[in-house]
Amino acid sequence: MLYRQQYRLRRMREDDLLIVLEWRNSNRIRKNMYTDHIISLDEHRAWYDRIKSSSEQIPYIFELDGRPIGFFNVTDINRENSRCGFGLYIGEPDMPRGTGTALGYCAMEEIFERLGFQRIIGEVFSFNKATIEFNMRLGFTHETQNVRQVWKNGKYEDILIFDLFRDGWLKRKPELAKIVFTEETVECIQ
């Protein structure tokens, strides 16, 4: 029998706070974030209260077969210039290979095809090789490097800036879909 996995993005809800806080405070996630201290529940709740009705951010939960497994956030929304930033991660450590790429695919589809943005700008620490490769796989191009931008790990770290335009996504999407959505998976649903 064929097992068909179903990916889904949905808006984050208040009842997701504890799982997102657990993911965010894990060493695996925290080591690649600008803010890398252990976040308290009060601090996390204040963050959620600020963004849940913000016009500058939209938080999402990524699910696999109804199970929350990751987080995606549209950030720095600039509707006038049709651009935004983003951040995402797979929170659950036991996910099958390719799940992160599926999240990236669903996130790009949301940003470009549902929200209608023309450009996404991403920022990555220069030491984060896995995320750099991930961005390239999605079709992003490396635009610039901000040298010694963020204090982390006892020194100033460089930040790489990537961007992806809607036309580039639409060109990359069919090829990426063949990789992400095999016989065992179905497309991302809303």
- The boundaries of the domain holding residue 113 are 5-119+176-189
Give the span between the Cα atoms of 76 and 82, in whole angstroms: 11
pLDDT at site 149: 86
Asked whether residue 171 is domain-assigned, the answer is no
pLDDT at site 190: 64
Give the span between the Cα atoms of 41 and 38, in whole angstroms: 10
pLDDT at site 184: 60
pLDDT at site 187: 63
Residue whose C-alpha is closest to residue 167's, from 130, 131, 141: 141
Asked whether residue 91 is domain-assigned, the answer is yes
Asked whether residue 103 is domain-assigned, the answer is yes
Asked whether residue 124 is domain-assigned, the answer is no
Asked whether residue 112 is domain-assigned, the answer is yes
Domain count across the chain: 1
Low-confidence stretches of the chain (pLDDT beneath 50): 1-3
Asked whether residue 42 is domain-assigned, the answer is yes
What CATH number does residue 87 fall under? 3.40.630.30
pLDDT at site 2: 32
Give the span between the Cα atoms of 69 and 66, in whole angstroms: 9
pLDDT at site 1: 25
3-state secondary structure 77-114: EECCCCEEEEEEEECCCCCCCCHHHHHHHHHHHHHHHH
Residue type, 31: K
pLDDT at site 186: 62
pLDDT at site 42: 97
Give the span between the Cα atoms of 39 and 25, in whole angstroms: 6
What ranges in 1-150 are assigned the alpha helix state H? 17-25, 27-30, 41-51, 99-109, 129-138
Asked whether residue 72 is domain-assigned, the answer is yes
CB atoms within 10 A of CB 62: 28
Asked whether residue 77 is domain-assigned, the answer is yes
Query: 7 pairs with which residues across the strands?
Result: 64
pLDDT at site 59: 97
